[in-house]
Structure 1
């Protein structure tokens, strides 16, 4: 029996290592990696890509585009974990829970672009509400998110884990030029008419994300409140294996959100916190930036593609 071959191009980066760990020991596929002296050899990489069934690209954007350009074998399927193709036509967005039929589209696709970590939480919260017309497409969306420092890749990990001054800083807001590369991805796949205001940050812990979106009920249609927003999310994700919408009663009992609560999993937990008296709602997403936000999502997409 022939097992499908999976080649990870860039398996020494943060995401690549995590994917490798998740696939190691699988008996339903053959995992292909290159020895250290061949990892930067363009000809050897091109050969490996064209000889595999599925190539998973864990590379900087330019290198990911280069890798796609290597492909001559039309049977090769690709999962790109970089941000190079997330807003490009011809690529299927790799968030299976995005909409009805999305998992089917991923399963059939030749080219899948893995979502970014922050966009996974933001889009999961916003897209169902926009599609249900509970949140206007032109709503002035603001997103605040805190990630573990591993979200910055190897350079951020080295900085936080080897630099005493960096570790001493418990919280770093970045993206102050308001040009974060995830913003167009969020706008497109959430269905927003305008660019959202996105404020990312790193905390002095390794992995895990808390992402929040504040909603002013006075800007929504009459009768739209926290309960209706919650009901929409709960209905959209009913039966989703990896997405949980926390019951409103449980959310009311919460005093804080822990970004590390789902570390090591591919789970995504969505919550709605409502204050009817003040006319305000806070949407939140908690997940592992290395799980559902990266390697876990890639493996989920791979499993869909291999099953087709």
Structure 2
């Protein structure tokens, strides 16, 4: 019997770390290694663990993630593979982007990588829509896209979760209106956008679930495509994908964000009014699933050959 792969979650007490642990709990092909609370910030203790595991998942703030990577760099051949769930290395040189469905060969690149950046939740939805359309020539690389999104409050960190669960937060709010959201660099890099998108995120009074929408004026797109052309390009890109599906639009012109909670699934729909030559492409996912811990488990399975 093959020995289980040893995994250390650096930052296992946070939301993403806890969710990854829950998804891996009970599996015979992995062994989860922990560190004592007293040693979480002890570099020597962490180095000792790093040397004796196959993979480290970083569920840390960006600066702390960079410190852990620097620590791993000192270990030479004894360094483990690293999957970083922070923003710190998603567009960094030498790191592989952890969206296996991004393009042909991306899953194989993740399998071969020793350093993988787990995608951001909003970025996952945005890139899932944009990349196939840009690759198909239906959205121009230099287009200025508007992207709107709403997430459950669980993606906002401990303070936001506490405020919502105490009934002290607004029922709905826009945020990051300084237009500097941390997911924009990866949306541009992996959505193949040369122009900075207008990204407007929001949070609602529900724990988890996410909708990311991309409104498009069809007459302004290259070749003036129909909604059927958009859907065909998306279907072609994701043919055979396990976790990403292109679905028919739901009747009634409504879409709720929570149906995929506790899965690693992502669904894309194209809503359109051909008379007005307008369309909205919408990605639905669990911000804690395909947007965080589900994607992390998918990536570590690829990295470890599980």
Q: Structure 2-normalised TM-score?
A: 0.96
Q: Which moved more, 1:17-26 or 1:66-75?
A: 66-75
- In the alignment, what sits opposite 2:269? 271
- In the alignment, what sits opposite 2:127? 123
1:2-151 matches, cutoff 5 A: 2-71=3-72, 72-74=75-77, 75-151=79-155
Q: Is the 8 A contact 1:233 1:245 kept in 2?
A: yes
- In the alignment, what sits opposite 2:176? 175
SS of the aligned residue for 1:56 comes to strand
Q: How many corresponding residue pairs?
A: 302
1:228 CA drift (Å):
0.4
Seen in structure 2, the aligned counterparts of structure 1 residues 81 and 236 have a Cα distance that, compared at 3 Å, is same
1:155-174 matches, cutoff 5 A: 155-162=159-166, 164-166=167-169, 169-174=170-175
Q: CA RMSD in A?
A: 1.2
1:79-115 Cα distance to aligned partner (Å, 9 max, x none): 0000000111100000000000000000110000000
SS of the aligned residue for 1:138 comes to coil
Listed as ranges, the gaps of 5+ residues in structure 2 are: none
1:156-197 Cα distance to aligned partner (Å, 9 max, x none): 1112112x331xx21010001111111111011100011100
Q: Is the 8 A contact 1:50 1:73 kept in 2?
A: no
1:237 CA drift (Å):
0.4
1:217-296 matches, cutoff 5 A: 217-247=218-248, 251=249, 253-296=251-294
- In the alignment, what sits opposite 2:211? 210
Distance 2:152 2:262 in 1: 13
1:193-204 matches, cutoff 5 A: 193-204=194-205
Question: Runs ≥4 in structure 1, deviation > 6 angstroms?
Answer: none
Q: Structure 1-normalised TM-score?
A: 0.95
1:254 CA drift (Å):
4.3
Distance 1:302 1:280 in 2: 39
1:236 CA drift (Å):
0.5
